Structure 1
């Protein structure tokens, strides 16, 4: 995060306010706060991502942490964007990230809906490109702890063992993945992805 003092000891209340917003909102990362930043479709998607993660990991606490980390990242991105904190270059990175994330979401839908189309290397590379693009965009603005959250989220989703387990045709996670795909389709139709 940018330093609070600027120039010759100039006090920047806006910087302090921005830091306070990010800190307060990240500590309150629950469904009520998330509703301000996240629409119903995305909320349903996050609920179903939680169910898929829990189905796969059998770990309620880690699955909750995954979704909370996603919410915290989205909230912080929203605060940064609403406060015009991104440079032109970072906004270009954001657009590239959005395009890559969109194509990754479409691939997930396709791999679920079309038998024998699952391509793990493609998904791993797509998630990795999204991961690196988002990190490059937010690194100047977020703390190492927040960057670690970004890493944790993407490392979960691009894990080959996770991808193989959920996309396998006879997967016990197929129903949970189907709910995620249904929400992704809805988000794509609404232009939210």
Structure 2
């Protein structure tokens, strides 16, 4: 794996921003993005994602690995999720979002929290599962997230976001995971317990 070359990146930055002078924030952002591209999803997860969230992702991965046609499909989705979360975190910590985008980010946070509460409720309370309601809410999350990253991420990254949401919004998968005493009960028990913890701590 090549090391991040600060001198080379500085030259690239200065060439793209003639007369701008040294911008430590801009160069720092480029450095973080460069390093992100060179890190494996497991290494990224250890650096940027807390243990409880990591457990949620691990159990979601186990479900996808069993449900999807091939293990590599589940690997791909997990990689997309982790890199998307980290890229947005990098943008946020480096103050890249403008005022309108910060409002979108807050709307997304509220909607995602609502979806998380809905998932836990549908799973833990018998006869409350409403596939159409959940699917519509997940789609609203996808639309808000795409609005948030529209100005910042490349089309390839945006398409990966769509793939993530399409995967988890699969109606057949929803029916299976919300089925009482279904094949993924053990994984869903752990996922909903950790999601409840994250919400109680204000992290979801």
| TM-score calculated relative to the size of structure 1 | 0.89
Retained in 2: the 8 A contact 1:56–1:173?
no
Question: CA-atom RMSD, angstroms?
Answer: 1.9
Aligned pair 1:39/2:39, yes or no? Answer: no
Aligned 8 A contact 2:59 2:191 in 1: yes
1:166-181 superposed matches below 5 A:
166-181=177-192
Q: Take 1:145 and 1:20, find their aligned partners in 2: how far apart are those partners?
A: 20
Larger radius of gyration, structure 1 or 2? 2
1:66-118 deviation per Cα after TM superposition (whole angstroms, max 9, x unaligned): 11111101110111011100001101100000000001000000111011111
Preserved CA contact (<8 Å) 1:29 1:72? no
Structure 1 range deviating more: 128-137 or 43-52: 43-52
| Shift in Å, 1:30 | 2.4
Output the CA distance in 1 between the equivalents of 2:32 and 2:149: 16
Quote the residue 1:26 is aligned against: 37
Going from structure 1 to structure 2, the CA distance change for 1:12 and 1:96 (only over 3 Å counts) comes to: farther
Structure 1: runs of 5+ lacking an equivalent: none
Find out whether 1:190 has 2:201 as its counterpart. Answer: yes
2:44, 2:82 within 8 Å by CA — same for their partners in 1?
A: no
Number of the residue aligned with 2:143? 132
Most deviating of 21-30 and 124-133: 21-30
**Cα distance, 1:61 vs structure 2:** 1.3
Number of paired residues? 189
TM-score (ref. length: structure 2): 0.85
Partner of 2:79: 68
Q: Are 2:129 and 1:123 equivalent residues in the alignment? A: no
Contact 1:104/1:123 (8 A) holds in 2: yes
User: In the superposition, relative to structure 1, how do residues 34 and 12 fare at CA in structure 2: closer, same or farther (>3 Å)?
Assistant: farther
Residues in 2 aligned to 1:35 and 1:78: alpha-carbon distance in whole angstroms:
14
